[in-house]
């Protein structure tokens, strides 16, 4: 069977992946027109359906095969399964993609099918690794005035959750798990399947989450605990998307999430919105790659961009971590313009050297030494844009609870307009101020980063 390509980083360690190579530039062919006639427009060659570089991978790859319509997924899967050196490893219902592991030859052959839109790597994503922060953003004052997210819901797409943790106040009301399996990846769904829904399906205490005395899945509970602290009245939908990898770099055990599982999770959030109209935000404290500017036009981003835009149209804001590379830019999905992208600041409103920054970001929020919940009833202090992101997710729920019929654009606009300006390198990014957004007070004076 073909080898899946898995690029992973242990939880809490910044992902240092580079942005995937861009596709080769399209070529044009011009033919001079006869004198007196208008020249014909240049014809542009179509973008290649097979991602550049895949054909050179002799060991094969795990890929997402996008098709023209959901109805074509089944016949294309049948064709893929019949190709020598190819295996269909995921065929979700009612979606316009399948996941295939195949050799370069089989993937090149599959790309020739007219029903196939693209064949590209199933990229992997990593987790991007309270009291003072809550006060800094005015969450304590907002809660005193009833802005606690009551009647609203947030979704946390992460490493699962300890639903029984006292710090979550019994607010975990929905759970799901989408966890890929292949030769190197093991499912973290409690039942061992690729997909599981219902109570307990996002359990962060399942045996596969434990390695010795370490819980590998603590990230999601920590993130959810921060969002709950900002909006304690909001319900939580926990969605596990990571897989366990036992042979990471250096022989360590780590977690990694395939893009395909994140896409399925975003689809699940869209369905949850239909049954939970109070769902206002989804938290993605994870990332992959690095983009210096908005990545909307990159071919590998198209599917996730579409999911995020669909959610926004339904009234759900996607909040994403900028990343911890300490550079200008953001990883995916934070590089997508439809997401609200969050970097980190300390209690002194200084940007730590490890936080990403720049024009791609929408907000800063506290992310330095944040104390929050971890599985089995404990707490831990972590730093990272992963910790900043749920501050904004919780703030959206709290603000939505006091802003009747506010659209996603209106809610985000209130948060960005009210935030304290952080000025650096010719860029100004507001730091979250929930109480300011709630009351409409003028932002605090700018803080200039030297």
String of DSSP letters for 196-261: EESTTTTBTTSGGGEETTEETTHHHHHHHHHHHHH-TTSEEEEEE--EEESS-GGG--EEEEEHHH
Token digits for 61? 């790859």
Cβ atoms within 10 Å, residue 410:
12
Place of tokens 């049948």: 78
CA distances from residue 387 to 46, 159, 225, 262, 308 in whole angstroms, order as listed: 42, 14, 10, 19, 21
State how far the Cα of 225 lies from the Cα of 294, in Å rounded to an integer: 29
Active site residue 386: yes
Token digits for 197? 């829904």
State how far the Cα of 52 lies from the Cα of 347, in Å rounded to an integer: 44
Task: Give the closest residue to 336 by CA, choosing from 351, 313, 319.
Answer: 319
What are residue 396's phi and psi, to 5 degrees?
A: -60, -40
Token digits for 367? 């992310």
Active site residue 158: yes
Neighbouring C-alpha atoms within 13 Å toward the C-beta of 87:
12
Residue 444, classified by CB atoms within 10 Å of its CB into exposed (0-12), middle (13-18) or buried (19+), is middle
| Torsion sign over Cα 175, 92, 206, 375 | negative
Place of tokens 């003072």: 132
Is the distance from CB of 236 to CB of 168 less than 8 angstroms? yes
**Which spans in 70-199 are helix H?**
73-82, 104-111, 131-136, 139-144
Active site residue 222: no
Residue 207, classified by CB atoms within 10 Å of its CB into exposed (0-12), middle (13-18) or buried (19+), is exposed
Is the distance from CB of 81 to CB of 91 less than 8 angstroms? no
Is the distance from CB of 388 to CB of 134 less than 8 angstroms? no
Name the DSSP letter for residue 337.
T
| H/E element, 423 | strand 420-424
What are residue 375's phi and psi, to 5 degrees?
A: -55, 155
Which of these is catalytic: 122, 158, 162, 218? 158
Which of these is catalytic: 260, 386, 391, 433? 386
Which of these is catalytic: 106, 203, 219, 260? 219
Distance of CA 314 to the CA centre of its chain: 18
Known catalytic residues are: 158, 219, 386
């Amino acid at each position: 069977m073909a080898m899946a390509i898995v690029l992973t980083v242990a939880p809490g360690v910044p992902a240092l992946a580079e942005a995937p190579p861009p596709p080769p530039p399209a070529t044009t062919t011009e033919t001079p027109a006869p004198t007196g006639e208008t020249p014909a427009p240049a014809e542009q060659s179509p973008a290649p359906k097979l991602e550049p570089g895949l054909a050179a991978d002799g060991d094969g790859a795990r890929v997402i095969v996008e098709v023209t319509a959901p109805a074509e997924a089944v016949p294309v899967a049948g064709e893929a399964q019949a190709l020598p050196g190819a295996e269909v490893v995921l065929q979700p219902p009612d979606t316009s993609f399948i996941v295939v592991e195949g050799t370069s030859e089989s993937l090149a052959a599959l790309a020739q099918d007219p029903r196939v839109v693209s064949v590209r790597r199933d990229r992997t994503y990593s987790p991007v690794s309270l009291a003072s922060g809550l006060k800094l953003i005015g969450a304590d004052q907002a809660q005193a005035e009833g802005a606690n997210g009551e009647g609203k819901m947030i979704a946390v797409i992460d490493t699962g959750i300890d639903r029984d943790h006292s710090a979550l106040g019994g607010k975990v009301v929905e759970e799901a798990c989408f966890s890929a399996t292949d030769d190197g990846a093991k499912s973290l769904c409690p039942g061992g399947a690729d997909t599981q829904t219902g109570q307990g399906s996002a359990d962060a205490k399942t045996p596969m989450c434990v390695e010795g005395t370490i819980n590998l899945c603590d990230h999601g509970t920590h993130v959810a605990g921060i969002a709950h602290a900002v909006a304690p009245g909001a319900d939580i939908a926990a969605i596990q998307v990571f897989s366990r990898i036992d042979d990471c770099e250096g022989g360590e055990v780590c977690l990694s999430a395939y893009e395909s599982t994140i896409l399925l999770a975003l689809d699940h959030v869209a369905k949850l919105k239909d049954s939970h109209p109070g769902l206002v935000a989804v938290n993605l404290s994870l990332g992959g790659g690095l983009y210096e500017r908005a990545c909307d036009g990159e071919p590998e981003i198209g599917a996730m961009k579409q999911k995020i835009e669909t959610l926004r149209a339904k009234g759900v804001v996607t909040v994403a971590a900028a990343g911890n590379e300490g550079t200008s830019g953001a990883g995916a999905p934070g590089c997508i313009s439809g997401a609200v992208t969050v970097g980190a600041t300390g209690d002194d409103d200084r940007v730590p050297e490890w936080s990403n920054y720049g024009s791609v970001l929408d907000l800063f929020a506290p992310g330095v030494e944040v104390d929050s919940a971890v599985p089995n009833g404990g707490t831990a202090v972590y730093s990272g844009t992963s910790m900043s992101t749920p501050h904004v997710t919780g703030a959206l729920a709290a603000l939505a609870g006091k802003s009747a019929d506010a659209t996603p654009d209106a809610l985000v606009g209130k948060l960005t307009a009210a935030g304290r300006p952080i000025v650096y390198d010719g860029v100004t990014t507001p730091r979250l101020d929930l109480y300011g957004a709630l009351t409409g007070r003028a932002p605090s004076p700018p803080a200039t980063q030297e």
